[in-house]
Every structure is written in structure tokens, then in C-alpha cells.
């Protein structure tokens, strides 16, 4: 229940997880090396389905890494425009499906406030589940811009703000360190503090968990914050950041063409290929560099 969601009851996002049973599984197999096969035991990321219900109505079934399911659900609903804040939600909790006790822990039910109206069929059309990417968002750029206006965020960042973000995110990936099999997303405050890190088999799920955490903590909208992700920046991740009003996304990998289009139209800043104190910028580049100066043999940037 939401009433139990106090800051004191939440885990420290930087604290090592002493009990990885919920997020990992011990597996047995064979390892082949140097012409020899041997018995091998390994720890892998756990992947299980989660059914999300609005009231008693099933909304979607998605693959995710168990843990922080309430945050994942809240972040997804905010990303899809179902809720605009925590006041739109009366309760979010796991429930059982009779007669399937094996589904316990894999069903979560949301009770919305009476003033919230949902077009269930339209919402279902905007969702699909996949083991590799979780639940994706709006199918087109036009649909996103109908749902939410472009950003008008005055935040500005020095270039060195981003230099150590990949290392700090990696250091907080407790389950990845054990399994090597999870994506991660983190949220940085305007002063550079890494507020929270969440991991999941689905890159979009990790982002939704971060946004859900911010909703629970009363930090939304996330003006002036930076979302940092462990992989590429897809259109869906850019959409989720825009819905949460996050002005900057930083990533160690590439953006997609549609993510760049959304960033340019909606005034998002994409910091990409972030490594070794270098990066590429797309979208609202003025948040990092106010102007670009050109010489005959190279282009340089001026802060």
C-alpha cells in the first residue's frame, strides 16, 4: 500500500544488496574451455512475468527482474500519461490470483483515485511486452507530442558534470556485478548527487523504476535532473524522460535516429558515447555548450 511507502522504509540506492535471491537465480550447466567440458554453476539475472492490473482489469504482462515492482508500475503509468503524480494513485500492491499460487509476487494491482479516467483499449494499444526490452511506449513521435509539451527547462551543465557518470553508475550495479546480465538506469540531482540506481533485464523497465522511485519520493517533476543509462538511448527511453520532465539523458552508447528527432523537437539533451571524458551531443545542445565555433580544420565548442 502507498501508506507504507515512507523514505525510511526504502533501501539506500548505494547500499550493497545482501540478499540477491529475488533478483538472481543459481543455475547449473556445462562450461567448455580448452577442449574440455566441466560442470559449471553460475548466478544469472532472474526474469519473470509481471501482470499489471488497473483495479481488477489486466492491463499488460511484461517481463522484468523481480524487485521494486511498485516503482516499475508507477513509472510505467506516469510514462504512459495515465497518472501525473502520486496523488492519482490510492494504492499499489501485489495480489494473488486464485487458483494460481505460483503467480504470487508476479501480479500487481493499482487502485487509481476516482478522478482519474483511463481509456483501457487505447492504453493497451500503446503497450507491448518483450523479454528483451520490457514495455515500450508510444509508437510515434506525433503521439508523444500530443500527450506532453516540449521542455522549457533552464538547467545548464558543465561538460565535466558527465565525465564520471558511467563509472558511478557501474559501481552501483550490485546485481550486474554478480550476473553481468542487467541494464541499469540512475538519476542525478542538479548538484551531481546520484540519487538512485535501478537494474532490470529490460532497459526500459530500469528507467520506469527510477521514475517510479521519484514519484514515491515526491520529487516529480524532475526539472534539472539527469537520467543516466547503461546502454543506448532509444525512442522509448527519450519518451519516458520527456514525460517525467527530465531534461538530459546520458548514455555510454548510441542514440537512435528517432530518439534524436524527439530530442530536437521536444528540447531534450542527449549526451551519448560518454567515455574517456568525451561525448557526443544531440538535441538541446545549449544546455552544455552555448555556441559552436568553427575553424578551417576542426570544429570546437565553447562553454
What span, in angstroms and rounded, lies between the C-alpha atoms of 62 and 45?
16
**Which of 95, 133, 136, 188 does the annotation list as catalytic?**
133
| Residue 264 · residue 238 · CB < 8 Å | no
What is the number of other CB atoms lying within 10 angstroms of the CB of residue 51? 16
What is the number of other CB atoms lying within 10 angstroms of the CB of residue 137? 25
Q: Give yes or no: 188 in active site.
A: no
Enumerate residues 6+ apart whose C-beta is below 8 A from 137: 79, 80, 126, 144, 204, 235, 236, 239, 240
Rounded to the nearest angstrom, the gap between the alpha carbon of residue 21 and the centroid of all alpha carbons in its chain is: 22
Cα distance from N-terminal residue to C-terminal residue, the chain: 47
Q: What is the DSSP string of 2-27?
A: GGG--GGGSPPTTS--S--TTTEEEE
Mapped onto helix, strand or coil, the DSSP state of residue 59 is strand
* Residues designated catalytic: 133
Amino acid at each position: 500500500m502507498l501508506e507504507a511507502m515512507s523514505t525510511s522504509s526504502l533501501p539506500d540506492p548505494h547500499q550493497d544488496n545482501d540478499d540477491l535471491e529475488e533478483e538472481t537465480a543459481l543455475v547449473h550447466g556445462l562450461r567448455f574451455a580448452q577442449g574440455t567440458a566441466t560442470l559449471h554453476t553460475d548466478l544469472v539475472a532472474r526474469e519473470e512475468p509481471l501482470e499489471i492490473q488497473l483495479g481488477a482489469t489486466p492491463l499488460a504482462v511484461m517481463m522484468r527482474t523481480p524487485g521494486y515492482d511498485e516503482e516499475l508500475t508507477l513509472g510505467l503509468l506516469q510514462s504512459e500519461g495515465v497518472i501525473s503524480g502520486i496523488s492519482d494513485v490510492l494504492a499499489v500492491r501485489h495480489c494473488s490470483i486464485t487458483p494460481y499460487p505460483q503467480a504470487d509476487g508476479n501480479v500487481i494491482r493499482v487502485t487509481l483515485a476516482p478522478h482519474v479516467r483511463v481509456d483501457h483499449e487505447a492504453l493497451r494499444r500503446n503497450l507491448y511486452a518483450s523479454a528483451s526490452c520490457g514495455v515500450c511506449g508510444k509508437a510515434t513521435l506525433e503521439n508523444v507530442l500530443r500527450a506532453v509539451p516540449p521542455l522549457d527547462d533552464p538547467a545548464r551543465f558543465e561538460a565535466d558534470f558527465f565525465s564520471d557518470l558511467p563509472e558511478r553508475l557501474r559501481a552501483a550495479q550490485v546485481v550486474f556485478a554478480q550476473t553481468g546480465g542487467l541494464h541499469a538506469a540512475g538519476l542525478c540531482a542538479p548538484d551531481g548527487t546520484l540519487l538512485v540506481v535501478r537494474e532490470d533485464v529490460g532497459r526500459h523497465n530500469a528507467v520506469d523504476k527510477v521514475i517510479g522511485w521519484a514519484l514515491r519520493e515526491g520529487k516529480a517533476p524532475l526539472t534539472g535532473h539527469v537520467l543516466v543509462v547503461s546502454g543506448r538511448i532509444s525512442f522509448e527511453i527519450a519518451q519516458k524522460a520527456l514525460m517525467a520532465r527530465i531534461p538530459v539523458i546520458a548514455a555510454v552508447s548510441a542514440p537512435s535516429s528517432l530518439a534524436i528527432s524527439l530530442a530536437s523537437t521536444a528540447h531534450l539533451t542527449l549526451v551519448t558515447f560518454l567515455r574517456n571524458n568525451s561525448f557526443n551531443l544531440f538535441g538541446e545542445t545549449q544546455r552544455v555548450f552555448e555556441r559552436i565555433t568553427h575553424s578551417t580544420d576542426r570544429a570546437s565548442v565553447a562553454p
